[in-house]
Structure 1
Amino acid sequence: MSWELLLWLLALCALLLLLVQLVRFVRADGDLTLLWAEWQGRRPEWELTDMVVWVTGASSGIGEELVYQLSKLGVSLVLSARRVHELERVKRRCLENGNLKEKDILVLPLDLTDTSSHEEVTKAVLQEFGRIDILVNNGGRSQRSLVVNTSLDVFKELIELNYLGTVSLTKCVLPHMIERKQGKIVVVNSISGIVSVPVSSGYCASKHALRGFFHSLRTELVDYPGITVSTICPGPVQSDIVKNAFSEEVTKTVENNFDQSYKMATSRCVRLMLISMANDLKEVWIADQPFLLMAYLWQYMPTLAWWLTNKVGKKRITNFKSGMDTDSSYSTMWKKKHD
């Protein structure tokens, strides 16, 4: 075989590999590192058993589904949110469908904005189970309103809840993990912590703040390799996050009954979260297209990302003003095109 033919074959193989990767990316629902870990990495069923896991925002959405999947792994659970009756409902379902007993689940009401209570609730967890292996910072709220119409109180509330509340609880748990020299801190962020979008300015700001804080914390913990910090950035997921979102005023929420079929199934999102936790991935992006593509563009091609965001942003604002789901039109169109 001549060298010229060999080079042509290598070039052809490289082209085929590139095409395969392109097809994989078009149909991907997570970043490539995460999907590799799903294929070749450690299984949650091996790595997360016999742990004490504290989940905030456990009464609905991603937090609720995370609790259900964790309950089948043989962990001890701490369920926190403001709505006690919803936490009790989640606990009952865990006992019915999981592998846990009454003693394995602690319902612990928590208001993230009441930072003065965080030290006491942390002590309550340690008194009950003796340790905290994983803290999942999942509690928070979204926002749907234009900057010009939005009260400053809404922005304050989003920072208090999504950012400062999470930072406060983490600071209460961190000394315990440092003393043990092990633990996992998981932060449920958002693709909006990477990509800035209109109609959610306060939410984006709080999520960008979280990303910066926990990236810095990870670096500060370099002398404690047993303590890992994982930032999870989901795109649109089937949940009540939009229904419970702030509007122009703190007392107003977004009242809607939008179709969520175009969004990622919550069970799939949580499965990928568990894989990232089992493999100690530093940051993962969990989203269907075109949201995943936008995350990559913002990370690696920001100039092009700005141009696209301006184009897509106009449609998002139009949808919002028309009383539609902000992301549904172009997301549904993409999904139909590639199904």
Structure 2
Amino acid sequence: MSDRKFAVITGASTGIGFELAELAAKNSYDLLIVADEAKIEEAATHIRTHGANVVALEADLATIEGVDKLLAAVTGPIDLLCANAGRGLGHGFLDQKVDDWRRVIDTNITGTLYLLQNVLSDMVARNDGKVLITGSIAGFIPGAFQAVYNGSKAFIDSFADAIRNELKESKGVSITTLMPGPVETEFFDRAGMMDTSVGASDTKSTAEDVAKDGWDAVMAGEAHIVSGWKNKIQAAVAHVTPAAVLAEQHRKMAEPGTADS
């Protein structure tokens, strides 16, 4: 009988999710990795080099049907869920198409909650399992020119705290929130933010470092981890800074055309 555990990692084709999947494979987990692009197959090929059994699934986790497709692909108990799939969106809210901002909400909130509800129900019934939810320090900051994304992460950060309390009697189940700042991934390009100060910055955290922080925290059963010392300072300052000041600071980072400011 194999002593390998089983992990599900979403948003695993690139970035933080891919790095989390590598860490899981190196730590004797077999995996189901999921993303909404065909590149997930390429990621699986690489991750298999670490000796893991890896199933790749292309599914749109902004939809209930996509999450159901993920759940149908699970053949046994989930020991670890990394709910990492997320989508960003830059520019002014009034300039955004309804379909675009709805997709951010459906990916970051609706699909994530539906997945968590299903997976956590089984974990609580078994009183065993670990969950890592990718939130963000963006959830502490009113995100001028990134308003829907930051609002969605404020929801996720808060939601994770709430369900952690609801499930506190299930001692065998842990829920960890990973809260990075800006990370050097395809996020800013996909969000249409490469003409912004934050998008063009070369001081972002690496996906590898953020994933390692998240991995260590979820394995230790910690409630939260803010990845990176600069982000820890920013998160602490955000708690005592007026919202209007934070929004203005964020504007300077995220307003289109500020890349060279």
Matching residue of 1:281: 222
What is the one-letter code of the residue matched to 1:111?
Answer: D
Matching residue of 1:28: none
Matching residue of 1:262: 203
What is the one-letter code of the residue matched to 2:177?
Answer: T
Q: Distance in 2 between matches of 1:117 and 1:94?
A: 23
Q: Distance in 2 between matches of 1:189 and 1:57?
A: 13
The structure whose residues are more often strand, as a share, is 2
Question: SS at 1:108's partner residue?
Answer: strand
Q: Distance in 2 between matches of 1:159 and 1:59?
A: 20
Q: Distance in 1 between matches of 2:97 and 2:66?
A: 27
Relative to 1, partners in 2 of residues 1:323 and 1:92: Cα closer, same or farther, differing over 3 Å? same
Q: Distance in 1 between matches of 2:166 and 2:103?
A: 28
Q: Distance in 2 between matches of 1:68 and 1:201?
A: 32
Cα deviation code 1:250-270 (max 9, x no counterpart): xxx456696553111221111
2:235 equivalent to 1:298: no
Gaps of 5+ in 1: 1-48, 246-252, 330-339
Matching residue of 1:154: 100
Question: SS at 2:8's partner residue?
Answer: strand
Matching residue of 1:99: 51
Relative to 1, partners in 2 of residues 1:123 and 1:321: Cα closer, same or farther, differing over 3 Å? closer
Gaps of 5+ in 2: none
* Aligned-pair CA distance for 1:148: 3.0
Does the 8 Å contact 2:195/2:257 carry over to 1? no
2:237 equivalent to 1:316: no
Does the 8 Å contact 2:131/2:218 carry over to 1? no
Question: SS at 2:55's partner residue?
Answer: strand
Q: Distance in 2 between matches of 1:293 and 1:136?
A: 25
Q: Distance in 2 between matches of 1:53 and 1:270?
A: 15
Q: How does 1:29-40 map to 2 (within 5 A)?
A: none
Q: How does 1:155-304 map to 2 (within 5 A)?
A: 155-245=101-191, 253-254=192-193, 259=200, 261-289=202-230, 291-299=231-239, 301-303=240-242
Relative to 1, partners in 2 of residues 1:123 and 1:151: Cα closer, same or farther, differing over 3 Å? closer
4+ long deviations beyond 6 Å: none
Of 32, 45, 58, the residue aligned with 2:12 is 58
What is the one-letter code of the residue matched to 1:286?
Answer: S
- What is the root-mean-square deviation in Å for CA atoms of aligned residues? 2.3
Of 104, 118, 132, the residue aligned with 2:67 is 118
Q: Distance in 2 between matches of 1:63 and 1:55?
A: 7
Q: Distance in 2 between matches of 1:260 and 1:55?
A: 28
Q: Distance in 2 between matches of 1:323 and 1:259?
A: 9
Relative to 1, partners in 2 of residues 1:194 and 1:51: Cα closer, same or farther, differing over 3 Å? farther
* Aligned-pair CA distance for 1:178: 1.8
The structure whose residues are more often helix, as a share, is 1
Q: Distance in 2 between matches of 1:269 and 1:234?
A: 7
- With normalisation by structure 2, the TM-score equals 0.89
- With normalisation by structure 1, the TM-score equals 0.70
Question: SS at 1:228's partner residue?
Answer: strand
Aligned identity (percent) is: 23
Of 26, 42, 45, the residue aligned with 1:89 is 42
* Aligned-pair CA distance for 1:134: 0.8
Relative to 1, partners in 2 of residues 1:260 and 1:88: Cα closer, same or farther, differing over 3 Å? farther
Question: SS at 2:177's partner residue?
Answer: strand
Q: Distance in 1 between matches of 2:151 and 2:177?
A: 16
* Aligned-pair CA distance for 1:143: 1.2
Q: Distance in 2 between matches of 1:70 and 1:261?
A: 28
Q: Distance in 1 between matches of 2:93 and 2:36?
A: 28
Does the 8 Å contact 1:195/1:294 carry over to 2? no
Count of aligned pairs between the two proteins: 257
Cα deviation code 1:244-290 (max 9, x no counterpart): 11xxxxxxx4566965531112211111111101111111111352x
Cα deviation code 1:203-247 (max 9, x no counterpart): 0111111122222211221221111111111001110001111xx
* Aligned-pair CA distance for 1:323: 5.4
